[in-house]
Amino acid sequence: MSAGESYDVAWNSRFGDQPPAGARLVEPLLRHRSVRHFTDRDVPPDTVEALIAAGLSASTSSNLQLWSVVSVEDRILREKVARSCADQAHVLNAPWFFAFLADHYRIRSAAKRLGYGGEGLDYVEFFTMAVVDAALAVERIACAAEMMGLGICASMFLPRNAISQFLMGLMHVSSS
């Protein structure tokens, strides 16, 4: 995020003209930049809790919340995650790293409890819903972090590789 940028400058650098006068509240969103280098400033657990709360408050398709999040704090696991993200240094060095997972486990379990097979979950629509839910949560958390003066960068995991399978195992979520 470009902290020093005014509303006018942030708007102009993206769109090349003058911003509408009555929309200053969008300024933090316009100032977004992916951040890949970090200070050693601590991000306290209270802040992280607030960020997760922001993610949990995102819109979710059919109110199903088909996503989960894992905070990857173990160093060895973080190294493995970084490797599966093409060895990107910021994945390794960020003070916090959250893995967001498209998650059918809870709804599949609920269906099973009610005596249904959950066959519909294999349709591409349900896969898409889970990915969209996860993406909305990521973006909501990213916006919240930037509003709190933190820098963020999204990274795409290779789907279904060993590490994402392991993280899903931590959450007891199904990859299907």
Contact call for residue 155 and ligand FMN (CB under 6 A): yes
**From candidates 12, 47, 84, 88, binder to ligand FMN by CB under 6 A:** 88
Shortest separation between residue 116's beta carbon and ligand FMN, angstroms: 32
Q: Which of residues 114-153 bind ligand FMN (CB under 6 A)?
A: 153
Beta-sheet strands, E only, within 7-49: none
31 closest CA partner among 141, 143, 155: 143
Contact call for residue 3 and ligand FMN (CB under 6 A): no
Give the helix/strand (H/E) hosting 27.
Answer: helix 27-30
String of contacts with ligand FMN for each residue 26-55, x by CB under 6 A: ------xxx-x-------------------
| Residues binding ligand FMN: number (CB under 6 A) | 10
Residue 90: C-alpha distances to residues 33, 97, 151 (Å): 14, 9, 11
Of 80 and 106, the one with the shorter C-beta distance to ligand FMN is 80
Q: How many CB atoms lie within 10 A of CB 135?
A: 15
Map residue 93 onto helix, strand or coil. Answer: helix
Amino acid at 116: Y
Beta bridge partner(s), residue 67 = 102
**From candidates 26, 154, 158, 162, binder to ligand FMN by CB under 6 A:** 154
Contact call for residue 156 and ligand FMN (CB under 6 A): yes
- Which residues of the chain form contacts with ligand FMN (CB under 6 A)? 32-34, 36, 85, 88, 153-156
